[in-house]
Structure 1
């Protein structure tokens, strides 16, 4: 049995196990769940054929993990709300299509290294958009509603931000060459703070620090950036009452369990009731968890599928990060190395921030779990990032 088939079989088995279980537990028997499972298998198989057959030099594991994680998310969303799951399947189709299109269509990525100021303009536009025309949801002003579509501009801003830093830092020579990218980082973080988007600010900070260290290899820059980030976090806490409240309920959620920390407490109850192996699909009480299809889907997974299953998801994210960093190490130019590092850290930090928030290990932020939570903007941008990493992994 060759490697391609070995990578496909676990994805097919998990897909049919999840959707088959949902179909059996439905009352009456849910044929729609089996159809959705079959559709997911076809999409996963097609993506594997395109990437592994026609672009055999690239990483074989990235596309596999990028297929398995959405299966888990869509299955859990289907258990919560079949209509929403259908929308998520459509976003999965768009996302995986974008992933394959990037691998097929994009020429050598090094050709895009000279477009620094294009990325600069797009970064500032998308980072600042919600500050001026955004609407506030769950305390953060990070959504823009154009009437026919609503989206988070910062999700697209992350992509251009990484491209800008990669094109700017690839020619690092001395401290003076860091002045411009440093200013862009400060402005971008300023937009996130004014939008009260603490989670995105944390992610942008770690992207910047990681790419800075990879580009310069200077420990003093790394320590200086970490120190500046810590001071910025303290200043943000002192200025904004919204951030003070988040820290307050993080430190001690129980006195506020019926109001400010209701979401945190319900998530912790769900996690504790699930135990090692979960209560089983349809046996939990996810309706008590606010925002259970997006921000808090991980708590639903732990409650009904168990801590062991949740640890498996975290292992998948770790492998995805490892393979992405491996692509960065094998890249043939500083620009593509920095791109792979930036996108890898972006996805990894998003996982750490939301899972840490659900477990109340860090202050809760409104971040989606990549490829698992409901959200079209997040699904599309993560697949775009992974498509770029997949393309970089083919460099020889």
Structure 2
């Protein structure tokens, strides 16, 4: 047996828990599809072989994920692929339930977007594993320029719909900002961490009071341009997500909590200005505070979503037996209300638990990563995903105002799904580098015992 094949067998055995958990995900999603198909047949709908295509595509995708990771001897985190498989499988099932695969292009989501997301995740993971992702730190300002060009291009060539600006075909390429801006922030803060952490000079004041404006000036200039373009596009949700990531990375990269204090003060001032100057933000706040003041207008979506979740109770109506068609944009922004209506409180709780596992694993990977760039990138990507999830679920449950943000891996939206898989691929690559670094230390005792036995 060659060394390569021995290593392959080792990885095959090492990833047995992942294989078993992926099989469990497939079983749960298959049961859900059977529930939906049974409900459709009871309602008089004619079923054909094509109705099994989403499930078959999902099963094939899980097989490709596992075999690819084994083939390339990936030794990183095993829970992240499982969590992504469960959440994306639930999203695929919910989209099928809502009729997203009906019409002339009904199978585009199955044939291209979901398998494409899986391939993107695997390609990014393989390209960046063994520490190769660190090469992305070499060009922070290239990522900054790409982000601004992307935003400007969408504003110039895009079309406005429901307040936001979209590219042709209602594509949202600005989702890529979750990658390009994070690469810029991680690379810049890693490079300039000492200067950014040098507070309190030259004035004779407490060191926690005066930030290093000289070192911050390029970053603040970029952020002003980014904020202006995002506000012109009325993408408040993206601005919030990226701003939270900025504060988290500044604090983590410099160990200066003053950034968080000033960030909160700045967020308060910007929020007040937006409520004062932009009618769009005022309407969303009013709909959040008093949806019954305009129950058939601005408050309609919130009230219908809450009504659907309330009707689900603890156990839900069952997949295929609810009435999500009464909730506007149920397949995208309000997919969580559909889960609450048809799977109940326990279904929603299960989704939240899987998200918490995703965030905990991401933070654990970032905390174990030695290179500062890897730590910052892993922390930033996890923060972006966690903030996006909080904004969506918080808006649907009326905990916070609506922001129009999708739910990662579950909501309909090709750009959002592809970027979510891209993000996961980077986190997986970071996790593989950490495991590869620690493995030789674990192998040393075995070699010493072998020499003693000889």
Deviations 1:175-215 (A, max 9, x none): 23222122222321222222222211211111111111111
Residue in 2 that maps onto 1:3: 17
Residue in 2 that maps onto 1:140: 164
2:138 is paired with a residue whose SS is coil
Residue in 2 that maps onto 1:162: 182
Query: In 2 relative to 1, CA 85–346 (structure 1 residues): closer, same or farther, beyond 3 Å?
Result: farther
**Among 264, 281, 291, which residue is 1:226 paired with?**
264
1:136 is paired with a residue whose SS is strand
Cα distance in structure 1, aligned partners of 2:256 and 2:352: 31
1:355 deviation in Å? 0.7
- Are positions 1:37 and 2:61 aligned together? no
Cα distance in structure 2, aligned partners of 1:9 and 1:244: 47
Cα distance in structure 2, aligned partners of 1:222 and 1:38: 47
1:345 deviation in Å? 0.7
Question: Do the aligned residues in 2 keep the contact of 1:4 with 1:52 (CA within 8 Å)?
Answer: no
- Are positions 1:152 and 2:190 aligned together? no
Residue in 2 that maps onto 1:106: 128
- Which structure would you say has the larger Rg? 2
Question: Do the aligned residues in 2 keep the contact of 1:22 with 1:33 (CA within 8 Å)?
Answer: no
Q: Please report the TM-score for the alignment, with normalisation by the length of structure 1.
A: 0.94
1:389 deviation in Å? 0.6
1:57 is paired with a residue whose SS is coil
Residue in 1 that maps onto 2:96: 78
- Are positions 1:343 and 2:343 aligned together? no
1:37 deviation in Å? 1.3
1:5 deviation in Å? 3.0
Residue in 2 that maps onto 1:88: 109
Deviations 1:72-119 (A, max 9, x none): 111111111133763322211111101111122336111221111211
**Ranges of 4+ aligned residues in structure 1 off by more than 6 Å:** none
Alignment of 1:317-356 (within 5 A): 317-356=355-394
Structure 1: where are the runs of 5+ without partners?
A: none
- Are positions 1:12 and 2:26 aligned together? yes
Cα distance in structure 2, aligned partners of 1:189 and 1:297: 28
Cα distance in structure 2, aligned partners of 1:97 and 1:64: 15
Residue in 1 that maps onto 2:194: 173
Question: Do the aligned residues in 2 keep the contact of 1:20 with 1:34 (CA within 8 Å)?
Answer: no
1:59 deviation in Å? 0.5
Residue in 2 that maps onto 1:120: 144
1:49 deviation in Å? 2.2
**Among 12, 24, 28, which residue is 2:38 paired with?**
24
1:10 deviation in Å? 1.6
**311-320 or 32-41: bigger deviation:** 32-41
Residue in 1 that maps onto 2:229: 191
Question: Do the aligned residues in 1 keep the contact of 2:237 with 2:405 (CA within 8 Å)?
Answer: yes
Cα distance in structure 2, aligned partners of 1:132 and 1:358: 31
1:30 deviation in Å? 5.3
Question: Do the aligned residues in 2 keep the contact of 1:185 with 1:208 (CA within 8 Å)?
Answer: no
Residue in 2 that maps onto 1:250: 288
Deviations 1:118-171 (A, max 9, x none): 111101112333333332222223x122xxx43213201221100001111002
Residue in 1 that maps onto 2:85: 67
**254-263 or 75-84: bigger deviation:** 75-84
Residue in 1 that maps onto 2:349: 311
Cα distance in structure 2, aligned partners of 1:372 and 1:267: 16
Deviations 1:6-44 (A, max 9, x none): 322221111211112222222245543434212211211
Question: Do the aligned residues in 2 keep the contact of 1:328 with 1:337 (CA within 8 Å)?
Answer: yes
